[in-house]
Amino acid sequence: MARDLTQWQILTELEPVAGQALDRHLSMARDWHPHDYIPWDDGRNFAMLGGTDWEPGQSRLPEVAKAALVTNLLTEDNLPSYHREISANFSPDGAWGTWVGRWTAEEARHSIVLRDYLVVTRGVDPVALENARMAHMTTGFHTPVEQGDAGSSGFLFSIAYVSFQELATRISHRNTASACDDPIADRMLQRVALDENLHMIFYRTMCGAALDLVPDQAMEAIDLIVRNFRMPGAGMPNFRRNGVLMAKHGIYDLRQHLEEVLQPVIRHWNILDRNDFGPRGEQARERLADYLSDLETVQVPRFEEHRDRALARARA
């Protein structure tokens, strides 16, 4: 029976794979500049500099687009917390350290471009946006499970979580682009979504390699992450209200979470057909399979039934 490895041992064993994944990422990533995506001619001074402060009528965005853009921006704003989580669980040296730095730098572009767009176009109240940023960043972010739950390493929890979360964020940005009804926002958000997809590929590759190296430990981490998954913005102001609005209007809902995030990644790792698990891994796989079945047959239909009734009442 394979023994459990410590976090340091896992990182050491997987560093060559991390180096290959980093090289592939750098060969595929394309540099871009946030200022190129902003309609600066639309900007004007606020009252402090002799202009006019924000009023609701200045926004051209639909309500669902406002909710989605604010949610996505505040999520991106919390990058310092994500950096702390990732850097605490990865090595500062070699390919791991280079990846953490590169990933952080690429992610920082997202909050820059989203905020510039919203402020310049007066899409949302900039004072409320700043107050929400202060509250959300002060609260910070923590991986949504206790890392001692499975006796596994923080590294495994981190890469399992971001394998799903980066894909979920990509889908949210992509669907927000359609909801904005603005070609400038569409171009900007499609650019951000491309970054998120490349980040997902790196983390999905590393989590797949961990499954091959320590199948039981990795399977336990994946199972716990999936069953306890929540988006990184869960603690932000108005998250529930905005999340419900986004789900009702197809930005990110439970079926998308199941069919466009969980199922594709789990299929990519071939989790349900692997034969290299020990008893612990088998138990975790069974729990995961039961949870996915419950999502598909009970939770998703129930959510859609409630959503359709709510939309019908709104139309009436």
CATH number for the domain spanning 13: value is 1.10.620.20
DSSP 107: H
pLDDT average, residue stretch 279-296: 96
Residue 239 has pLDDT above 90, yes or no: no
CB neighbour class for 165 (10 Å; exposed up to 12, middle 13-18, buried from 19)? buried
Does residue 75 form part of some domain?
Answer: yes
Annotate 160-198 with DSSP letters as a single string: HHHHHHHHHHHHHHHHHHHHH--HHHHHHHHHHHHHHHH
Annotated binding site for Fe cation: 76, 107, 110, 166, 196, 199
| Angle formed at CA 284 by CA 81 and CA 215, multiple of 5 degrees | 80
SS3 state at 56: helix
Q: Is there a domain that residue 292 lies in?
A: no
Environment class of residue 263 by beta-carbon count within 10 Å: exposed (0-12), middle (13-18) or buried (19+)?
middle
Residue 309: its pLDDT value, please? 86
SS3 of residue 135 by DSSP: helix
The Cα-based distances of 184 to 70, 121, 240 in angstroms read 17, 10, 28
Q: Which pLDDT value is given to residue 148?
A: 46
- Using 50, 70 and 90 to split pLDDT, how confident is the model at 187? very high
Q: Give domain status of residue 302, yes or no.
A: no
Domain presence at residue 109: yes
pLDDT digits (tens, 9 = 90+) for 35-53: 999 999 999 999 999 999 9
Q: How confident is the model at residue 316 (pLDDT cuts 50, 70, 90)?
A: confident
- 144-185 pLDDT, tens per residue? 665 444 444 789 999 999 999 999 999 999 999 999 999 999
Q: Which residue has the tokens 């202009």?
A: 51
- Provide, rounded to the nearest whole percent, the portion of the chain with pLDDT above 70: 96
| In the chain, % of residues over pLDDT 90 | 79
Higher pLDDT, 311 or 288: 288
Average pLDDT of the chain is 92
State how far the Cα of 272 lies from the Cα of 119, in Å rounded to an integer.
46
What confidence score (pLDDT) does residue 2 get?
Answer: 63
In a domain, 161, yes or no: yes
- Look at the chain and report how many structural domains it folds into: 1
Binding site: what residues are annotated? 76, 107, 110, 166, 196, 199
Closest Cα partner for 276 from 202, 210, 205? 210
Specify if 284 maps to a domain: no
pLDDT score recorded for residue 150 = 43
Domain that holds residue 95: 7-253
As a whole number of angstroms, the distance between CA 200 and CA 225 comes to 15
Predicted confidence at residue 315, as pLDDT, reads: 79
Say what the pLDDT of residue 149 is.
Answer: 45
pLDDT at 144: 66
Handedness of CA 142, 147, 153, 157 (dihedral sign): negative
In a domain, 41, yes or no: yes
Query: Which of 80 and 32 is assigned the larger pLDDT?
Result: 32
Decide: 117 and 191 in contact? Cβ < 8 Å: no
Is residue 205 assigned to a domain?
yes
